[in-house]
Structure 1
Amino acid sequence: MNIEHHEPPGDKHATIEIAGIDLNFQGFDPETRTPTGGKLAKLAGFNSDQRPYVFQWRHDGDLEELRDQEEADLSNGTRFIVAVADGTNRIAIEGESFDWPADEISGAVVRKLGRIPSERGLYLERTDEPDRLLDDDDVVKIRKDGIEQFRSGKPQTWELNVQGKKIVSITPVISVVEALTRAGFDPNAWIIILKIAGQPKRQLSVGDEINLRAPGIEKVRLTAKDVSNGEARVAPSRDFALLEVDEAYLEGLGYAWETRSSDGHRWLIIRDYPVPDGYAAKATTMALMIPPTYPQTEIDMFYVYPPLQRVTGGAIPATEATQTIGGRPFQRWSRHRGSVVPWNPQRDNVVTHLALVESSLIKEVGE
């Protein structure tokens, strides 16, 4: 004989929320104030054969497992986690233990479970190495033979060098406008260049953002958009064309550049080329010898005028020779590609060679 349970007339049901292990909750009406674990699993779309785990996320932060016929007391919490898993794994957040129905867990879920605010750092504790700082999208594989422990820490900060001035951000992504404004620069008055170690320089616009978590970010350099001494500008020489990607790159960075046939060679000449801190000059004229069969033939070495010198003094290796270009003695930097990553005409060009130039200049001042 089936006995139906009727709730008192006028007794209202409490709205509940159910989520999977992603903790993206959705609202449900359980049609009762005492839903069983089986009822909650059914609301979540599971059948009894799947034998899902059902947890009540209590107001006090605990996860309490509910058996199939066990009734939930909604006064203790109206949020539930339902998931199918081979078993549960132990984790601890801020010293509080949980049974978690999955083999992995994301930083975002740990934050939600532990109620850790976004402005605080989240760490995975380690005994034989430094604790690992986690981003929200990081996923941690939970050990079967122990317990993964998570903790919060002081707010994580990121630094950015803007034209020699360091600013500190409490968020890993900062807008170009905020970065320049905080450094004391008008964002609309400058050509903005982002330097990342091992990569070509990249021009930014005022609408861009900078991800400070990206490896190798070094600094933002600024070049005035319009500098005039009152004289009429002389049109740059264009004795020969570069690749389209080269010209777009040079124009995008705002460089004053020209191509000239001089002294028996073809030259790309970049005026006011900025150099890293550590040299006596802030900028130089940069010259690259462009072979007639470029890009099939590689660009080799680079040349500067006036010669570069370290602030600390001392000779710079393999820069003793000079090359006359347009009547001026340019300092030759004998820097060559190694055999590990040789020149590839399908990939390499002025852009990638300037990345080699940049890394060579940085190496000599240890910046």
Structure 2
Amino acid sequence: MEDKSFSAEKPQVYKATVNDKKITVKTPKITGAELLKEAGIKDPECHTLYQKLKGDFKRISMDEIVDLGNQGTEHFVTKEAEVFNYLVDGEPETTDKKTLTPVQIMELNAVDTKQFYLVQLRDKDAEINYAFSPEESIKMHCRGMRFVTRKWLDLVDIESYGKECKEVPPARIYRIKVDKRYHDWNRRFITVAELIQLEYPNSSAQFEVYKFVNTSPKPIKLGLSEQVDLTERCLVRFTIQPKEQTDGLQSVEEDVVLRREFNLPEEDVDFLNGLGLPWEAIGNRTTGGGMWILLHEFVIPEGYHQKHATVALMIAPSYPATEIDMAYFFPALTKISGKGINALAAQPIDGKTYQRWSRHRAPGQWRPGVDNIASHLCLVENWLIKDLGR
């Protein structure tokens, strides 16, 4: 016969409703914060809790204890926070507005909005910079937000920041280098058309624009409709090249002397070293022979059988006053499409037979003091891409 004198009693639970969600707890006494947690409400500090009584509501603080054992105490509702606390430059501020703009936040803290801009500090040193969006709507958060103000810089030299890949701060004026000249620009963005106008304000000729960045071994060609963010990290400078060059079949019969035997301007050496590719300077200015730059492992655009080649550039004794003309490749390039390449000839260089691409600037397009090996290689890449479309 079963003994029922020791049967286990069912544990008592206490029920409550928070908004429309029913919860059960094992203890009658519970804090306001615990009620919200049981109801699955995140960020309890962002809500105000009310106990629903007959014809009235009683506010319950987060650390206040409610006894669910008392009849009529089990109904609760919440409201979103009505007041938002935040810091500006370490000073506490309060607002009942759900959204504020950076300008409003600074004005409420008596900050000169013409001299300063607003930055929001996030976790782990992350920031949101509102320098260029002063009227953006910022949703205020009840957990507290941190803002600081920073003074606008009068002028920032893009080249100096780009060479070190430093973050470019907001400024009233950005100084940019286009070819050999510097220009002051009063906006964060500049279009390719505006870059061309800086150098050629009244020209109807067609040009191509390249940007140099510290993280790329090659200049980056920009689209005609493209605009550049001058605060782009590692941006250094720009170069502008005539869009069209002519093909030709001029002969070159200089003898070639081996190895690296002449000096280049410092900017050419810096550029070639920055490519990260092996290069040589062979020949000299006194023997009457040819002087050549050999750039090995040069990347060839997709569409040719060759992925890499050595590109040779003939350097005149009077360079950089005299232009660099044409380009020479080893091994010879051939298209995957099987189509021919215009204006080719053979050229002996350094004991090998190079493929000469006869491509020439129009008279007067070489700009001494502006054009150099870097700008000529921009043209060479353009020739390679252009010929694929023929």
More strand by share: 2
Q: TM-score, normalised by structure 1?
A: 0.41
Q: TM-score, normalised by structure 2?
A: 0.39
